[in-house]
């Protein structure tokens, strides 16, 4: 049985009106059903990827002034891709990914990671 993750939303207040986002659905190869909460510390914050996970969705802090960057163990020497500062990010996990690293330039707030 495969797990699924569906995200949808609405961008309101745009010059052209509203824009519906999604639904965006990712289908995994197994039911992982794991959620990890992580309080952000300055520097690298590591999320361990559960066995069988193929995608991650991260809910970022509702209010955030930190600069956040994301990378995996597969490119640990990379500076990371900027994310946020608020909202969510959804990414596929390449084969061989064992950890996702969120780098913060300070402390504060928490993130919630959902794996499928």
pLDDT value of position 109: 87
At residue 8, the pLDDT reads 82
Q: What is the CATH number of domain 33-115?
A: 2.60.120.770
Domain boundaries, the chain: 33-115
- Do 104 and 38 contact (CB within 8 A), yes or no? no
Q: How confident is the model at residue 81 (pLDDT cuts 50, 70, 90)?
A: very high
Mean pLDDT, rounded, for 94-111: 94
């Amino acid at each position: 049985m495969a797990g699924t993750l569906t995200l949808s939303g609405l961008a309101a207040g745009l010059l052209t009106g509203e824009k519906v986002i999604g639904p965006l659905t990712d289908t995994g190869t197994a039911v992982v059903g794991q959620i990890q909460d992580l309080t952000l510390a300055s520097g690298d914050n590591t999320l361990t990827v559960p066995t069988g996970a193929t995608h991650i969705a991260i809910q970022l802090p509702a209010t955030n002034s930190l600069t956040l960057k994301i990378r995996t163990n597969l490119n640990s020497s990379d500076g990371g891709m900027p994310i946020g500062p608020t909202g969510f990010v959804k990414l596929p996990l390449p084969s061989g990914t064992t950890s996702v690293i969120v780098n913060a330039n300070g402390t504060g707030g928490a993130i919630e990671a959902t794996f499928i």
